[in-house]
Structures are given as structure tokens and as C-alpha cells.
Structure 1
Amino acid sequence: MPLSMYQASIPVLTRGLGVLSTLLGKGAAHADANGLDRATIVAGRLAPDMYPLSGQIQRASDTAKFAAARLTGVDGPSFADEETTLDELQARCAKTIAYLESVGLDAFEGSETRQITFGGGASKTTLPGDAYLLHFALPNFFFHVTTAYDILRHVGVPIGKLDYLGMPRQS
């Protein structure tokens, strides 16, 4: 049986967001155990021209929501980028997972060939759904998940590769 667009997207995205939520929890525990201000972790960044941790979580959430919405041809939810605490960022992960889990398998019918247009201006691009998912949405999602992990490591949260990978699940 071939891999479906649903299988290649929803379980992968929900798992990544679950890992992010767990990492955020470890960040909170680290801050609390070491008398650190949690706001310092939320504001952590790798370089001045990069999003802080909060922005990385917001972009991962947006990428996941947009992927599901674009592939299924429906409007996804809109979340304001107002999270300023680790708890609020975890809640955003949970809201995004809840949305992704509400998108049914049937909604992905024909999504591999659905034309997906994204970006704006000179960067406006149209790709078939399979290319959009595999060559843009998933790499973009994991860029932000990885960068969030890197920021947490950078600010001293004791996490490692297995924390990033999480426990594999069978679909």
C-alpha cells in the first residue's frame, strides 16, 4: 500500500509539535530548578536576525496548520502570535495538534496533485501538493523545530538528540 499524503503529513506534524511541547516543558523545568527567568528562555535566539524561541514555535505551528489547510483546500485556524510564556507556547502546540487531528484522512484525497500556491511577491510559488509537502512544508517545519531545539540547548536546557527525536510511534 503506498504512503498517503495524510500519513506523510498529519502524524509527522503532530509528532513534531508534541516533541516541541515536551522540549518546552523541559525548558520550564530547567528554569525553575536553576532559578532562571522563564522569559529569558522564551526570548532566547541564536543570532540577532533570527526569530527567538517564541517565533520558532509560532512558525512551526503556522507551517503545520498551513500545510494541512493548503493540502485539503480548506481554511485553517488563525492564531495571533502573542505567546510570551513557555506555557502559552505549549498551549499553541496543543491547539495546533488539535486542529491537525481534526483534519480527516478523506480530506486529503487528491492532495498530491492539488496545485498549492504560497508566498508572495517575487517569492510566490505554485507546486503540486506532493512537492509542496516534501520539498517545502516539511523541511520548513523541521527547520523551526530544530532551531527551537538549538535555542533551548543554547540557553542551557539539558536536552539531547533523543529528546529531539522523541519516541517513534507506529502509524
Structure 2
Amino acid sequence: MSDLIQHYVPVFRYYLDRIDDLAGKATADQLAERLTPDSFSALENFGIAQGYVLRSLCPLAGQPVPDLPDAADPKTLVGRGQEVRAHLDRLEGVSAQNTGKINHVAGKATLDQDPYDYIALYGAPNFFFHMNMGYAILRSVGGAIGKGDFDGFHSYPSGFSFVTGDQGQTPEPAQ
């Protein structure tokens, strides 16, 4: 079980940096945008993703999930990310304490999951869902971001599109 926590600590740490990068490339107006009127904003989605890091790992470590400040603006989003990273620092080397069922609420559903299912099928996918929603919103409102900003690996020329066949001009550096 200890591998579950230690497997996900570097993954979450890496993608927390990606959230900071994405939010840093957006305007406050872009971060306030929503896909639909009844959905979370890009900023809120990024904040929820940050929260899923601790919501995913703390129960495995037998620790309570700490309260985080609201992500009211880009500055507090970055502060939240720093606070989450500080918690990750304290979880490095920690072995899973919870080897039984993890009881939690998902929306209006109450679930009992074993530790592997909890993090691999619930916690991490929810982190990536909300990170991706923030990314998709920024893309949909013209944010100057691309796949490389999401994953930190891909690089395409500026203006490149698989859809339109435009090959772009200048390669953007991989993150």
C-alpha cells in the first residue's frame, strides 16, 4: 500500500506545476469563464483539482484532509498550490495507514472503496478531470495555451493544427 502514496506524490507535484503554468498564462477574465452557466469557472476547476491532491492522498495516509483557503483569484490559487505542495512534502516517505475501505462522498453518492480503487479510479481521475476542465475553458476562450502547457512534454509550431492542416511557423519549446 505504501507504493500508492509514493507513486502519486510526484505525479500530483508535477501537475500542480502545470496548473500554475496554465493559470499564469491566462487573464483574470479568462479564468472567470465557464463552459456552461451552471459549471465551475476555470479558476474554480483548477482549485478543485488542487484539493483532490490532498483528498486523494490524506485518507490513504490515515490523515484528515486539511482545509485549504478558497481560490478566489490567480494569486490565491498559487498560494493554495504552495500549501498543497507543503502537505506533499510531509507525505513523502509516508506509508499508507488505511488498508481497509475508504468511505467517502462523491456528489450525492456514498462510496466504500479499497485504497487502490479510491486513488486510481476516483481521486486521480477527479484531479485530472478538473485540471482538464480548467484547460478546456481557457482554450475555448482563446487562451494562448496548447497541449504542451497541459502536459509539459508536447511541442508544436505556433499556429499548428491537426484539424486545419496548418503546419505553423515557429516551434514552441517543450515545457
TM-score bracket, normalised by the shorter chain, equals: 0.7 to 0.9
Task: Tell me if the contact between 2:45 and 2:130 (Cα under 8 Å) persists in the aligned partners.
Answer: yes
After superposing on structure 2, the runs of 4+ consecutive aligned residues of structure 1 that deviate more than 6 Å are: none
Match of 1:98 in 2: 86
SS at 2:39's partner residue?
coil
Per the normalisation by structure 2, the TM-score is: 0.79
Cα distance in structure 2, aligned partners of 1:116 and 1:62: 17
Task: Tell me if the contact between 1:42 and 1:84 (Cα under 8 Å) persists in the aligned partners.
Answer: no
Report the count of equivalent residues. 154
Task: Tell me if the contact between 1:71 and 1:114 (Cα under 8 Å) persists in the aligned partners.
Answer: no
Deviations 1:98-133 (A, max 9, x none): 21121132332x55x332111079511011100111
Task: Tell me if the contact between 2:6 and 2:92 (Cα under 8 Å) persists in the aligned partners.
Answer: no
Match of 2:119 in 1: 133
Task: Tell me if the contact between 1:26 and 1:157 (Cα under 8 Å) persists in the aligned partners.
Answer: yes
Distance 1:114 1:15, change over 3 A: farther
Identity in percent: 27
Bigger relative contact order, structure 1 or 2 (CA pairs below 8 A, ≥6 apart): 1
Task: Tell me if the contact between 1:45 and 1:52 (Cα under 8 Å) persists in the aligned partners.
Answer: yes
Cα distance in structure 2, aligned partners of 1:80 and 1:23: 20
Task: Tell me if the contact between 2:5 and 2:61 (Cα under 8 Å) persists in the aligned partners.
Answer: no
Match of 1:34 in 2: none
Larger radius of gyration: 2
Distance 1:41 1:84, change over 3 A: farther
Match of 1:118 in 2: 104
Q: Partner amino acid for 1:77?
A: P
The aligned runs of 1:9-48 (5 Å cut-off) are 9-27=8-26, 31=27, 38=28, 40-48=29-37
Residue segments in structure 2 that go unaligned for 5+ positions in a row: 155-175
Instruction: Work out whether 1:74 is the aligned partner of 2:63.
Output: yes
Cα distance in structure 2, aligned partners of 1:18 and 1:102: 18
Cα distance in structure 2, aligned partners of 1:84 and 1:167: 29
Per the normalisation by structure 1, the TM-score is: 0.80
